[in-house]
Copies of this chain bind each other. A is one copy, B any other.
Amino acid sequence: MRKNVLIVGAGGVAHVVAHKCAMNNDVLGDICIASRTQQKCEAIIESVLRKNHLKDPARKLYARQVDALNVPELVNLIKETKSEMVINVGQSYINMSVLEACIETGAVYMDTAIHEEPDKVCENPPWYANYEWKRRERCAAQGVTAILGIGFDPGVVNAWCALARDEYFDTIDTIDILDVNAGSHGKYFATNFDPEINFREFKKVWTWVDRQWVQQKVHSIRVDYDFPVVGSCPVYLTGHDELHSLSKNIDANSIRFWMGFGDHYLNVFSVLTNIGLTSEKPVKVAEGVEIAPLKMLKALLPDPSSLAPGYTGKTCIGNFIRGTKDNKPREVFIYNTCDHAECYQEVEAQAISYTAGVPAAAAAILVARGDWDVKTMVNVEELPPRPLLNLLDSMGLPTVVSEKPVTFTAPVIEHVASV
């Protein structure tokens, strides 16, 4: 049994993690939310209390200020708060410092997105080998449980791959992970999470085709797919975290990720990128001030957390998997749909934050119970999937398996030179 959770970060995902942890604090113990800006942590706590989500009022829910790039400061915070589990949902730049603090203190480490260095974008695959897996031996040696990428994608989609492998297929040919937000925030343009991290995803496309890494141009390969519930949506071949562990851990010929974008989104993104506004490289502006264009863009775009109150519509994220079972071809679509307004009603967040945050809270419960306390570093597909999926069924993110899905057909994906 593990007790007491430290949530690092105070954005939209942290908000959802805090709500769901509070709703399970009889299992999880005390909850501390720590971030560079303590005020943002306190706003989350106000939301939790407003919704009356603190299940056991005898357990503490409190805020702390922390510089999450400072390992000794994190170590002190973990010790002082007696946190045995750390859920890191801050900016991707802090992952390795938080992990180091967990290794030093023996606390469980969980995150929802891959580590990034501010000055590097879309490094060579597999991405996990660049930072996370370099620390795997040390986690194993010291019995530290580190669960990488336990949001929705990566996270639940990885568990679905494990489920498919364990229960639905003898051989897997292709896994296509499809992520579409068919909701509307009513703004001219906005990103659903930190624009800085969001746009960094779109610099290059690395995908796993015929057991090789293949590089393609961004937004160059489109498929229109008729999703359950939300209907037909265009999706584009996109690079994404989970391919970088699934390619190693799941025996499949091709594993690809596709993200839904509307024409308006792509037009705006294309203009911004062509002008240079999505660049993380500082430029000199007239007065001699140097600043990254992406920082200016972030300052102008709506704060993702501000989108939640008016958000309507649904997300649909699913794995279309093709292979064989008992020597017969088989296709399944394993998916979840999530309604923005229902999420807001429940926890005052939109569905993008909700789908990423709920699985992390579920994982903390599984670790606290001992189901997932594996004393080493793992990606989600290396863990038994059923405990997570069963728990999520009752926590707001039910899994649906469609045995007769609409077929997803990808065009031939060729390797292109660097873009």
A238 to B301, CA, bound (A): 28
Among candidates B188, B277, B291, residue contacting A285 with C-beta atoms closer than 8 Å: B291
Does A419 sit at the interface, judged by CB under 8 A?
no
Closest partner residue, chain B, to A271 (CB atom): B271
A264 to B103, CA, bound (A): 53
Judging by beta carbons under 8 Å apart, are A296 and B293 in contact? yes
Judging by beta carbons under 8 Å apart, are B286 and A289 in contact? no
Does A72 sit at the interface, judged by CB under 8 A?
no
Residues of chain A from 255 to 278 with CB closer than 8 A to chain B in the complex:
267-268, 271-272, 274-277
Residues of chain A from 291 to 312 with CB closer than 8 A to chain B in the complex:
291, 293, 295-301
Among candidates B267, B286, B293, B295, residue contacting A287 with C-beta atoms closer than 8 Å: B295
Among candidates B271, B291, B298, residue contacting A272 with C-beta atoms closer than 8 Å: B271
A189 to B296, CA, bound (A): 19
| Contact (A300, B275) CB under 8 Å given A267-B267, A289-B289, A291-B291 | yes
| Contact (A189, B274) CB under 8 Å given A289-B291, A293-B296, A300-B293 | yes
Does A284 sit at the interface, judged by CB under 8 A?
yes
A289 to B288, CA, bound (A): 12
A271 to B265, CA, bound (A): 10
State which size class the interface on A falls in.
20 to 34
| Contact (A277, B277) CB under 8 Å given A286-B298, A287-B295, A299-B285 | yes
Rounded to whole Å, the gap between the CB of A276 and the closest CB of chain B is 4
Residues in B with CB closer than 8 Å to A293 are: 296, 300
Rounded to whole Å, the gap between the CB of A382 and the closest CB of chain B is 36
Q: A12-38 vs B: 1/0 string, CB under 8 Å? A: 000000000000000000000000000
A300 to B286, CA, bound (A): 11
Residues of chain A from 146 to 200 with CB closer than 8 A to chain B in the complex:
188-189
Judging by beta carbons under 8 Å apart, are A286 and B299 in contact? yes
Does A283 sit at the interface, judged by CB under 8 A?
yes
Closest partner residue, chain B, to A298 (CB atom): B286
Among candidates B188, B298, B300, residue contacting A277 with C-beta atoms closer than 8 Å: B300
A289 to B284, CA, bound (A): 13
Among candidates B188, B189, B276, B299, residue contacting A300 with C-beta atoms closer than 8 Å: B276
Judging by beta carbons under 8 Å apart, are B291 and A188 in contact? no
Rounded to whole Å, the gap between the CB of A35 and the closest CB of chain B is 14
Judging by beta carbons under 8 Å apart, are B275 and A189 in contact? yes
A53 to B300, CA, bound (A): 47
Residues in B with CB closer than 8 Å to A296 are: 277, 283, 285, 291, 293, 296
Judging by beta carbons under 8 Å apart, are B268 and A297 in contact? no
Residues in B with CB closer than 8 Å to A274 are: 188-189, 268
**The 9 A-B residue pairs with the shortest CB-CB distance in the complex, in nearest-first order:** A271-B271, A276-B300, A285-B299, A296-B296, A188-B274, A285-B295, A286-B295, A283-B299, A268-B271
Q: What are 12 pairs between A and B in contact, CB < 8 Å?
A: A189-B275, A268-B275, A275-B300, A277-B296, A283-B299, A283-B300, A285-B291, A285-B298, A286-B295, A286-B299, A289-B289, A291-B291
Q: Which residues of A contact B (CB under 8 A)?
A: 188-189, 267-268, 271-272, 274-277, 283-287, 289, 291, 293, 295-301
Known: A267-B267, A291-B296, A293-B296. 8 other contacts (CB 8 A): A189-B271, A268-B274, A271-B272, A275-B297, A283-B296, A283-B300, A284-B299, A296-B296
